[in-house]
């Protein structure tokens, strides 16, 4: 059960649909892929695509550091030490969440493959299936409506709309979708730090009739005191994303008065499953709901996030559409998607197979 080799590569997974959010446009996707191999040939897969704007690291940084790193501390170790190995990953790369995420995911995959059980069963499965939202980037009103029609036609009932550039146009885009589908779909909003406190409160009252399920990261990541001073009705809908990077952040944001009613956990922010579980535990203790999100990622890390999400009783929302618009991937399997609802396979580990 000893680790024999660590392989690292950068893969261009491309995009079938470029998009824009409040602070950037995206037209291509690279992922760092890690494969950790045992002496018996069993391998575990990890993937990462961290955001430079959020954690100060992008996929090129991740690949460069991993390829230059001496894995002498890992090669030759017994995979049954998985929790200790994940702890040592944190010790070696304390400020590099992308690096940690891909190694942590690969170690979890490898360990539970060796056990012969799905990762979620090892972690303790609390959910069997949940609907994911699918995201519409920032675009014109007509384009937004057409994309919403496409997604609803594909069976999705939870639509997340990126906002944060023009308050008036944001409301118009949402209003048109709501007029079209009423209660047949659920609308979520992601402002990506695009609003001020006054704009957020104005947005909230002007969209009350639309029954928005949540408003993700409306204010800047560092506007913690402003979040804590929001009216309770507004705060309850706020899903903190870029503000929640680490367990330390979670503790600070959960302390009374809390800064939001929902924490959005992303493996690419916190550095993998191990830290994600710490954040989830803090949120549970503070009665804060959990949302699990992603970047543009291989099904490897999307599946990892889904396993982690389904192991937390406090998970209420998933937004794990990060592999849906990839032109290609390096693996297959991981999960099932039917009418916008995600569920896991019963295969060992993450349930993914390398192509």
Residues 195 and 303 occupy one common structural domain = yes
Spell out the long-range contacts of 275-280 with Cβ–Cβ below 8 A and sequence spacing 24 or more: 275/90, 275/100, 275/104, 275/246, 275/247, 276/305, 276/308, 277/123, 277/308, 277/311, 277/312, 278/247, 278/250, 279/244, 279/246, 279/247, 279/250, 280/308, 280/312, 280/314, 280/315
User: How does pLDDT run across 284-318, given as a tens digit for each residue?
Assistant: 999 999 999 999 999 999 999 999 999 999 999 99
Q: What is the CATH number of the domain that holds 13?
A: 3.30.390.10
Residue 111 shares a structural domain with residue 52: yes
Domain boundary among 116, 138, 172: 116
Beta bridge partners, 341, equal 131, 338
User: pLDDT confidence of 18, banded at 50, 70, 90?
Assistant: confident
The DSSP result for 297-332, as a single string, is --HHHHHHHHHHHHT-TTEEEE---TTTTBS--SEE
Half-sphere exposure of 108 (CA within 13 A, CB side): 35
Q: Given 61, 90, 116, which residue is the final one in a domain?
A: 116
Contact call for residues 240 and 289 (beta carbons, < 8 A):
no
My answer on whether 64 and 130 are in the same domain is no
Q: Is 174 helix (H, G, I), strand (E, B) or coil?
A: helix
139 and 245 assigned to the same domain: yes
Cα separation, 235 vs 226, in Å, equals: 10
Gap between the Cα atoms of 204 and 201, Å rounded: 5
Query: Does 323 share its domain with 182?
Result: yes
Domain count, the chain: 2
pLDDT confidence band for 241 (50 / 70 / 90): very high
Does one domain contain both 142 and 210? yes
Contact in structure between 263 and 239 (CB atoms under 8 Å)? yes
- The answer to whether residues 310 and 339 belong to one domain is yes
Token pair for 340: 């916008």
Q: Name the residue with tokens 């994940």.
A: 86
Predicted pLDDT at 28: 75
Strand bridging mode 214-216 / 238-240: parallel
Q: How far apart are CA 272 and CA 266, in angstroms?
A: 8
Judge if 48 and 109 occupy the same domain. Answer: yes
Residues 203 and 329 in one domain: yes
Residue 29 tokens read as 């996707």
- Identify the DSSP state of 133: P
The tens digit of pLDDT for each residue in 184-223 reads 999 999 999 999 999 999 999 999 999 999 999 999 999 9
Q: Specify the pLDDT at position 281.
A: 98
Range of the domain at 75: 3-116
State the pTM of this model. Answer: 0.96
Q: Mean pLDDT for the chain?
A: 96
Neighbours of 19 (CB within 10 A): 18
pLDDT at position 22 is 62
Q: Based on the domain organization, do 195 and 102 belong to the same domain? A: no
DSSP state of 132: B
Q: Is 345 helix (H, G, I), strand (E, B) or coil?
A: coil
Mean pLDDT, residues 12-18 taken together:
87
Residue 226 sits in the same domain as residue 343: yes
Q: What's the CATH number where 248 sits?
A: 3.20.20.120
Does one domain contain both 308 and 327?
Answer: yes
Cβ atoms of 311 and 180 closer than 8 Å: no
User: Of 74, 97, 116, which residue sits at a domain end?
Assistant: 116
């Amino acid at each position: 059960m000893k680790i024999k080799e660590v392989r690292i590569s950068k893969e261009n997974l491309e995009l079938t649909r470029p998009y824009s959010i409040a602070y950037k446009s995206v037209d291509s996707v690279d992922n760092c892929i890690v494969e950790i191999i045992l002496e018996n040939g069993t391998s575990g897969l990890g993937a990462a695509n961290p955001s430079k704007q959020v954690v100060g690291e992008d996929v090129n940084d991740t690949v460069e550091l991993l390829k230059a790193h001496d894995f002498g501390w890992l090669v030759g170790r017994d995979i049954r030490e998985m929790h200790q190995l994940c702890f040592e990953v944190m010790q070696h790369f304390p400020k590099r969440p992308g690096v940690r995420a891909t190694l942590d995911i690969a170690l979890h995959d490898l360990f539970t493959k060796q056990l012969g059980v799905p990762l979620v069963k090892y972690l303790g499965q609390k959910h069997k299936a949940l609907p994911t939202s699918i995201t519409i980037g920032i675009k014109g009103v007509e384009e937004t409506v057409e994309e919403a029609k496409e997604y609803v036609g594909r069976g999705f009932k939870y639509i997340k709309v990126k906002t944060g550039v023009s308050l008036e146009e944001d409301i118009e885009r949402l209003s048109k979708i709501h007029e079209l589908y009423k209660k047949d779909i659920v609308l979520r909003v992601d402002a990506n730090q695009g609003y001020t406190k006054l704009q957020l409160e104005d947005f909230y009252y002007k969209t009350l009739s639309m029954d928005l399920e949540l408003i993700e990261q409306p204010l800047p990541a560092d506007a913690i005191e402003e979040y804590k001073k929001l009216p309770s009705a507004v705060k309850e809908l706020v899903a903190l994303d870029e503000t929640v990077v680490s367990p330390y952040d979670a503790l600070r944001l959960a302390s009374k008065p809390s800064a939001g009613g929902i924490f959005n956990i992303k493996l690419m922010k916190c550095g993998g499953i191990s830290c994600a579980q710490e954040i989830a535990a803090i949120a549970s203790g503070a009665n804060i709901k959990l949302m699990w999100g992603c970047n543009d990622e291989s099904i490897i890390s999307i599946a990892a996030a889904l396993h982690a999400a389904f192991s937390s009783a406090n998970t209420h929302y998933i937004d794990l559409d990060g592999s849906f618009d990839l032109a290609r991937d390096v693996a297959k399997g991981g999960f099932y998607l039917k009418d916008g609802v995600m569920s896991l396979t019963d295969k060992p580990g993450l349930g993914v197979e390398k192509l």
